[in-house]
Amino acid sequence: MSNWEKQITAEVPRLRRYARALTQNPSAADDLVQECLERAWGKQTQWQTGTNLRAWLFTIVHNCFINETRARNRADEYLDQVKQSETGSYSDSNIELLNLQQCLQRLSQEHREVIVLAGLEGLSYQEIASVIDAPVGTVMSRLSRAREELRTLMAHPIPDNVVKLK
Protein backbone atom coordinates (compact mmCIF):
# COMPACT_ATOMS: atom_id res chain seq x y z
CA MET A 1 0.00 0.00 0.00
CA SER A 2 1.43 3.39 -0.99
CA ASN A 3 1.90 6.28 1.43
CA TRP A 4 -0.99 8.11 -0.28
CA GLU A 5 -3.31 5.13 0.29
CA LYS A 6 -2.24 4.86 3.95
CA GLN A 7 -2.93 8.55 4.54
CA ILE A 8 -6.33 8.39 2.86
CA THR A 9 -7.27 5.22 4.74
CA ALA A 10 -6.37 6.84 8.07
CA GLU A 11 -8.85 9.66 7.38
CA VAL A 12 -11.85 7.48 6.47
CA PRO A 13 -13.31 7.27 10.04
CA ARG A 14 -13.17 11.06 10.39
CA LEU A 15 -14.73 11.51 6.96
CA ARG A 16 -17.55 9.14 7.94
CA ARG A 17 -18.25 11.03 11.18
CA TYR A 18 -18.35 14.35 9.35
CA ALA A 19 -20.52 12.94 6.56
CA ARG A 20 -22.95 11.44 9.11
CA ALA A 21 -23.18 14.78 10.89
CA LEU A 22 -23.97 16.48 7.61
CA THR A 23 -26.44 13.96 6.21
CA GLN A 24 -27.97 12.58 9.43
CA ASN A 25 -28.21 9.28 7.56
CA PRO A 26 -25.58 6.50 7.78
CA SER A 27 -26.31 5.18 4.30
CA ALA A 28 -26.19 8.63 2.71
CA ALA A 29 -23.02 9.36 4.68
CA ASP A 30 -21.33 6.25 3.33
CA ASP A 31 -22.32 7.29 -0.20
CA LEU A 32 -20.92 10.77 0.44
CA VAL A 33 -17.61 9.37 1.71
CA GLN A 34 -17.44 7.04 -1.30
CA GLU A 35 -17.94 9.98 -3.64
CA CYS A 36 -15.29 11.95 -1.75
CA LEU A 37 -12.77 9.12 -2.02
CA GLU A 38 -13.47 8.70 -5.73
CA ARG A 39 -12.94 12.42 -6.32
CA ALA A 40 -9.82 12.50 -4.16
CA TRP A 41 -8.38 9.54 -6.03
CA GLY A 42 -9.16 11.15 -9.38
CA LYS A 43 -7.70 14.48 -8.29
CA GLN A 44 -4.74 13.06 -6.41
CA THR A 45 -2.35 15.17 -8.47
CA GLN A 46 -4.08 18.35 -7.27
CA TRP A 47 -3.23 17.67 -3.63
CA GLN A 48 0.09 19.21 -2.68
CA THR A 49 2.37 17.09 -0.53
CA GLY A 50 2.95 18.73 2.82
CA THR A 51 -0.45 20.39 2.97
CA ASN A 52 -3.26 19.30 5.28
CA LEU A 53 -4.78 16.18 3.70
CA ARG A 54 -7.62 16.03 6.25
CA ALA A 55 -8.76 19.57 5.46
CA TRP A 56 -8.52 18.83 1.73
CA LEU A 57 -10.68 15.70 2.13
CA PHE A 58 -13.18 17.48 4.38
CA THR A 59 -13.45 20.19 1.73
CA ILE A 60 -14.28 17.53 -0.86
CA VAL A 61 -16.93 16.00 1.44
CA HIS A 62 -18.37 19.45 2.13
CA ASN A 63 -18.53 20.34 -1.56
CA CYS A 64 -20.08 16.97 -2.47
CA PHE A 65 -22.71 17.49 0.21
CA ILE A 66 -23.51 21.00 -1.00
CA ASN A 67 -23.83 19.72 -4.56
CA GLU A 68 -26.19 16.95 -3.49
CA THR A 69 -28.21 19.36 -1.35
CA ARG A 70 -28.71 21.68 -4.29
CA ALA A 71 -29.71 18.77 -6.51
CA ARG A 72 -32.62 17.55 -4.39
CA ASN A 73 -35.18 18.71 -1.91
CA ARG A 74 -33.86 17.87 1.56
CA ALA A 75 -37.04 18.69 3.45
CA ASP A 76 -38.87 15.44 2.59
CA GLU A 77 -35.81 13.35 3.35
CA TYR A 78 -35.32 15.10 6.70
CA LEU A 79 -38.90 14.40 7.77
CA ASP A 80 -38.51 10.74 6.79
CA GLN A 81 -35.34 10.48 8.86
CA VAL A 82 -37.02 12.02 11.90
CA LYS A 83 -39.92 9.55 11.62
CA GLN A 84 -37.50 6.62 11.35
CA SER A 85 -35.40 7.74 14.33
CA GLU A 86 -38.48 8.15 16.53
CA THR A 87 -39.60 4.54 16.00
CA GLY A 88 -36.59 3.10 17.84
CA SER A 89 -36.37 2.52 21.59
CA TYR A 90 -33.58 3.92 23.71
CA SER A 91 -32.11 2.94 27.06
CA ASP A 92 -31.65 5.50 29.82
CA SER A 93 -27.92 5.60 29.15
CA ASN A 94 -28.54 6.81 25.59
CA ILE A 95 -31.05 9.57 26.39
CA GLU A 96 -28.43 12.33 26.67
CA LEU A 97 -26.76 11.23 23.44
CA LEU A 98 -30.13 11.14 21.71
CA ASN A 99 -30.88 14.62 23.05
CA LEU A 100 -27.56 15.88 21.66
CA GLN A 101 -28.24 14.24 18.29
CA GLN A 102 -31.72 15.77 18.12
CA CYS A 103 -30.38 19.19 19.11
CA LEU A 104 -27.65 18.95 16.47
CA GLN A 105 -30.30 18.11 13.87
CA ARG A 106 -32.21 21.24 14.85
CA LEU A 107 -29.20 23.47 14.17
CA SER A 108 -28.87 25.01 10.74
CA GLN A 109 -26.51 23.18 8.39
CA GLU A 110 -23.95 26.00 8.74
CA HIS A 111 -23.98 25.79 12.53
CA ARG A 112 -23.99 21.99 12.61
CA GLU A 113 -20.98 21.66 10.32
CA VAL A 114 -18.78 24.11 12.27
CA ILE A 115 -19.75 22.45 15.58
CA VAL A 116 -18.82 19.03 14.20
CA LEU A 117 -15.59 20.19 12.55
CA ALA A 118 -14.42 22.02 15.68
CA GLY A 119 -15.82 19.84 18.45
CA LEU A 120 -15.67 16.34 17.05
CA GLU A 121 -12.90 16.57 14.50
CA GLY A 122 -10.76 19.11 16.38
CA LEU A 123 -10.00 21.29 13.36
CA SER A 124 -8.61 24.78 13.90
CA TYR A 125 -10.51 27.89 12.84
CA GLN A 126 -8.20 28.18 9.83
CA GLU A 127 -8.79 24.57 8.80
CA ILE A 128 -12.56 24.97 9.17
CA ALA A 129 -12.41 28.16 7.10
CA SER A 130 -10.60 26.22 4.40
CA VAL A 131 -13.13 23.38 4.47
CA ILE A 132 -16.24 25.58 4.24
CA ASP A 133 -14.59 28.25 2.10
CA ALA A 134 -15.33 31.13 4.48
CA PRO A 135 -13.20 33.75 6.27
CA VAL A 136 -11.80 32.81 9.69
CA GLY A 137 -13.86 35.58 11.30
CA THR A 138 -17.03 34.07 9.87
CA VAL A 139 -16.04 30.67 11.26
CA MET A 140 -15.42 32.16 14.70
CA SER A 141 -18.75 34.00 14.83
CA ARG A 142 -20.66 31.04 13.39
CA LEU A 143 -19.10 28.71 15.92
CA SER A 144 -19.89 31.08 18.78
CA ARG A 145 -23.53 31.37 17.70
CA ALA A 146 -23.75 27.61 17.11
CA ARG A 147 -22.39 26.81 20.58
CA GLU A 148 -24.83 29.21 22.21
CA GLU A 149 -27.76 27.79 20.25
CA LEU A 150 -26.73 24.22 21.09
CA ARG A 151 -26.45 25.09 24.81
CA THR A 152 -29.95 26.57 24.70
CA LEU A 153 -31.38 23.58 22.85
CA MET A 154 -29.72 21.10 25.22
CA ALA A 155 -31.16 22.97 28.21
CA HIS A 156 -34.67 22.90 26.75
CA PRO A 157 -35.14 19.68 24.72
CA ILE A 158 -38.34 19.08 22.82
CA PRO A 159 -40.56 16.52 24.58
CA ASP A 160 -40.99 13.22 22.72
CA ASN A 161 -44.72 13.77 22.23
CA VAL A 162 -44.29 17.02 20.28
CA VAL A 163 -44.06 16.86 16.48
CA LYS A 164 -40.69 18.21 15.39
CA LEU A 165 -40.57 20.16 12.16
CA LYS A 166 -37.62 22.10 10.89
pLDDT one digit per residue (tens) for the chain, 166 residues: 788 889 999 999 999 999 999 998 999 999 999 999 999 999 888 878 888 899 999 999 999 998 887 765 544 554 555 555 555 555 544 577 777 788 888 889 899 999 989 988 888 999 999 999 999 999 999 999 999 998 898 887 666 544 444 4
Nearest Cα to Cα of residue 95 among 36, 157, 146, 141: 157
Amino acid at 98: L
Report the top-level CATH class of 3-155. mainly alpha
Q: Does the predicted TM-score (pTM) go above 0.75?
A: no
d(CA 144, CA 148): 6
